[in-house]
Amino acid sequence: MGSGPIPSARKLSGLSYNSRCLLGTYTSAERYRSKVEVNKVNVGSLSLYDLGNAAFLKEFPEYKGKDFLTQPIGQV
């Protein structure tokens, strides 16, 4: 686990209880499957990551320039 800041519960409240409980447990295989599904609707991987990162960093600007994808918070 990383040593990044712990996000407030308020910022994560938009996620379902089940989703919050699963943070940090998703595998790279699950991430790949999600990417494949998005690619099926003609959204490229780089675009997907750019959109996801922009939305994430809007809510969690303290992670800008940090390797948050290797931490449970990166699964938000």
Residue 27 CA to residue 48 CA, distance in Å, equals 18
pLDDT at 53 over 80: yes
Q: Kindly report the number of other CB atoms within 10 A of residue 52's CB atom.
A: 15
pLDDT at 58 over 70: yes
pLDDT at 69 over 70: yes
What residues does each domain of the chain span?
Answer: 15-75
Q: pLDDT tens digits for 3-49?
A: 555 556 778 888 888 888 888 888 889 888 988 988 899 988 889 88
Q: Give residue 54's pLDDT.
A: 92
The closest alpha carbon to 27, from 35, 17, 39, 18, belongs to: 35
Q: Please enumerate in sequence order all residues whose Cβ is within 8 A of that of 59, keeping only pairs 6 or more positions apart, or say none.
A: 11, 76
Query: What's the pLDDT at 1?
Result: 47
* Amino acid type, 27: T
